[in-house]
Amino acid sequence: MFFNKDIETIERSSLVKLQEERLKKALEAANATKFYSQRFKENNIDISKIKTIEHLRDLPFTTKNDLRLSYPDGMCAVPREKVVRMHASSGTTGKSTVIFYTKKDVSEWAAQVARGMYSAGMRSTDVFQNMMGYGLFTGGLGLHYGGELLGCMVIPTSTGNSPKQIELMQDFGSTIMHITPSYALHLGEVIRNEYKINPRDLPVKKAILGAEPYSEETKKKIEELWGVDAYNNYGLSEMNGPGVAFECTHKSGMHLAEDYYIAEIINPETCEPVPDGEFGELVLTHVNREAMPIIRYRTRDLTRFIPGTCGCGRTMRRLDRIKGRSDDMLIISGVNVFPSQIEGVIMGIPEVGNNYQIVVDRENNLDRLHVRVELYAKMFSGDVKELEKLKSVITNRLKSVIIVTPRIEFCEPGSLPASMGKAVRVIDHRKL
Ligand code: ADP
Ligand code: ZN
């Protein structure tokens, strides 16, 4: 049932004690960095007074920009000779930021990730095809070491090269794949249309999905297309990478590795904590890392803690699916719209295929939202009236969710840019 029962089922009070012990060490390590020693000094912070999780709230936040400003190693707490690896974030929203790891950090991360994968039902007999980017991006190597620690055979295919992915999957009987949701949809389509193979007939039984926001509807679509059981996995390079929170087989949220992180959920505008169970921005303090003890990091990711306990017996709290990033939010004619809301609606419509694109521009000083939607090929052989009807169904459903009236454009399958890694689905011409 468990990879490490003692820690996975730890009682709350013991967990808090462990977190606070680790917090003390993390603050001492932070104080050894150029960045934090200066920040603490400027704010008259005496870290020896920060003893509890409540006290932690007195400390300033750390942002992605702080990481950029301290480039290359202003946030590194150990001498260079103790560092065994570095990674860099993919730079979705700007210049990349660098994270360092000691030998201990790498092995602790592997144990964290292995535990999460185990909770999703992965065992040593599994063949694990890891289709996340290897290299500076944490997605590939992060789960790679977890898979090895579990004793699985790991196939490090990385992203792209669909023909090779398919060949290896068939020849080595991959049972679990780790893949971005957008690439899962694309690859499934390639297998079905170009190889004339039903993805459901392949040996893959489970998919670990992560690295980008996606909706429940997209997850269902992937499960249907591949005939797999899909599990959500959340992470960000600043907090190690994938495996920060992992869905267990009860599939009711992702257990946060709370022995590694102290989490807060705040209102992104006021920065005050939100009431328990409400959505807000996730703020994480890494308390189990030697090289980069990041304090109160504003992830920009919007989620909430799911109230109650999980049927699996794990006591670590569960995060809800990430709704999006606070900086992803589009303001269209004054209305706040998250791309994930749009995705949730269109992916729930059976005629809609596997890709879409959101384009926002300005016409005569008015914001316009265009949603380009790929339809399955069979839809184009029928009646034009049917297409018009479908268009108005989609328009109305979207309007009821996002208030804004979109212009829908239908596209042939495979005509929108395909994603091999993290998908770029929003083009905002107002910002270009
Ligand atoms: P960057 O911030 O440059 O994209 P990362 O590669 O570290 O750098 O990406 C981490 C981000 O990816 C997270 O902050 C989050 O927005 C997104 N992400 C990762 N996993 C998930 C997931 N399971 N669901 C939704 N979003 C995710
Ligand atoms: Zn659980």
DSSP string, 145-197: HHHHHHTPEEE---S--HHHHHHHHHHHT--EEEE-HHHHHHHHHHHHHTS--
Spatial separation of the C-alpha atoms in residues 203 and 192, rounded to whole Å: 15
Query: In the structure encoding, which two tokens stand for residue 383, read together?
Result: 């009646």
Query: In the structure encoding, which two tokens stand for residue 60, read together?
Result: 């300033």
| Nearest ligand to residue 179 Cα | 1
Q: What is the pLDDT of residue 421?
A: 85
Task: Specify the ligand 1 atom closest to the Cα of 209.
Answer: 23
Q: What is the pLDDT of residue 189?
A: 92
Q: What is the pLDDT of residue 89?
A: 81
Task: Give me the residues paired with residue 363 across strands.
Answer: 366
Spatial separation of the C-alpha atoms in residues 126 and 115, rounded to whole Å: 15
Task: Specify the ligand 1 atom closest to the Cα of 210.
Answer: 23
| Nearest protein Cα to ligand 1, atom 19 | 211
Instruction: List all residues 6 or more positions away from 38 whose beta carbon is below 8 Å from its beta carbon.
Output: none
| Nearest protein Cα to ligand 1, atom 14 | 236
Look at the block and give the residue holding tokens 């190597």.
Answer: 141
Spatial separation of the C-alpha atoms in residues 99 and 112, rounded to whole Å: 17
Q: What is the pLDDT of residue 420?
A: 87
Spatial separation of the C-alpha atoms in residues 29 and 225, rounded to whole Å: 47
What are the strands of the beta sheet with 280-286, ordered from one edge?
A: 261-266, 280-286, 297-303, 324-325
User: How would you classify the pairing of strands 206-210 and 229-236?
Assistant: parallel
Task: Specify the ligand 1 atom closest to the Cα of 300.
Answer: 14
- Each residue's pLDDT tens digit in the chain (432 positions)? 999 999 999 999 999 999 999 999 999 999 999 999 999 999 999 999 999 999 999 999 999 999 988 988 999 999 999 999 999 985 655 667 899 999 999 999 999 999 999 999 999 999 999 999 999 999 999 999 999 999 999 999 999 999 999 999 999 999 999 999 999 999 999 999 999 999 999 999 999 999 999 999 999 999 999 999 999 999 999 999 999 999 999 999 999 999 999 999 999 999 999 999 999 999 999 999 999 999 999 999 999 999 999 999 999 999 999 998 888 889 999 999 999 999 999 999 999 999 999 999 999 889 999 999 999 999 998 889 999 999 999 999 999 999 999 999 999 999 999 888 888 899 999 976
- 207-216 pLDDT, tens digit per residue, is 999 999 999 9
Spatial separation of the C-alpha atoms in residues 70 and 59, rounded to whole Å: 18
| Nearest ligand to residue 180 Cα | 1
Q: Mapping DSSP to helix (H, G, I), strand (E, B) and coil, where does residue 67 land?
A: helix
Task: Specify the ligand 1 atom closest to the Cα of 254.
Answer: 23
Q: What is the pLDDT of residue 96?
A: 72
| Nearest ligand to residue 328 Cα | 1
Distances (CA, A) of 320 to 71, 86, 256, 317: 32, 29, 10, 10
- Percent helix, strand and coil across the chain, each to the nearest 5: 35, 25, 40
Among residues 16, 1, 9, the alpha carbon closest in space to that of 315 is found at 9
334-336-338-344 Cα dihedral, nearest 10 degrees: -100
Spatial separation of the C-alpha atoms in residues 203 and 326, rounded to whole Å: 38
Ligand 2 ion: residues within 5 Å (CB): 248, 250, 310, 312, 314
157-160-164-167 Cα dihedral, nearest 10 degrees: 90
- The pick from 90, 134, 236, 240 for probing ligand 1's pocket by mutation, whose C-beta has the most ligand atoms within 8 angstroms, reads 236
Is 299 close to ligand 1, i.e. is its CB under 6 Å away? yes
Find the 427 Cα to ligand 2 centroid distance in Å. 37
Q: What is the pLDDT of residue 149?
A: 98
Task: Specify the ligand 1 atom closest to the Cα of 232.
Answer: 23
Distances (CA, A) of 294 to 84, 89, 242, 319: 18, 15, 16, 20
Find the 312 Cα to ligand 2 centroid distance in Å. 4
- The pick from 138, 261, 322 for probing ligand 1's pocket by mutation, whose C-beta has the most ligand atoms within 8 angstroms, reads 322
CB 226 within 8 A of CB 165: no
Find the 309 Cα to ligand 2 centroid distance in Å. 8
Angle, helices 34-42 vs 12-31, to 10°: value is 100
Is 212 close to ligand 1, i.e. is its CB under 6 Å away? yes
| Nearest protein Cα to ligand 1, atom 8 | 89
Q: What is the pLDDT of residue 364?
A: 86
Which secondary structure element, helix H or strand E, spans residue 109, and what is its range?
helix 103-119
- 278-314 pLDDT, tens digit per residue, is 999 999 999 999 999 999 999 999 999 999 999 999 9
